[in-house]
Amino acid sequence: MPDGAQKPPRKRLLADEPSPASIFLDVPNMPWEETKFPGIKCKTLCTDPSGLATLLLELAPGAVVPLHEHTAIEQTYVLRGHFLDEEGECLEGQFVWRPAGNTHVAWAGPEGATILSIFLRPNIFADGRKFFTEEG
């Protein structure tokens, strides 16, 4: 709180119960996690039982996200580097979104890439691998 005082939880507007707490993450100090995709590391910023996921992904130069289909809208903002697919490319500061049903292969350029991606539901991969946040 700006004045340092603890205040009781705010009540929700649409229900007679306390508002759920916000979740704050110290992203720079979170460790990068290896994924099942060679050359791709991840920081999971948010997940939900519905399948929603917000991921910070670090792709090594030339790293490939293999053939997959988006099951709902996916949004990606390029923080660093060069992120490409068969339809186009995004450089640092650029944004791409893909509709449900979009099927493609994506990869990092020769300098690699750091991207922030938001998925409403997990992708389906052609080779049977699970989505970044799915087990097994």
Instruction: Give residue 75's pLDDT band: very low, low, confident or very high (50, 70, 90).
Output: very high
Residue carrying structure tokens 């996690």: 33
Residue carrying structure tokens 């720079």: 28
Q: According to the model, what pLDDT value does residue 9 have?
A: 80
Distance CA(9)–CA(70), nearest Å, equals 38
Residue 14 phi/psi, 5-degree rounding, is -105, 5
Instruction: Give residue 132's pLDDT band: very low, low, confident or very high (50, 70, 90).
Output: confident
Structure tokens at 87: 């339809």
Q: Which among 85, 80, 79, 39 has a CA at the least distance from the CA of 62?
A: 39
Q: According to the model, what pLDDT value does residue 133 have?
A: 86
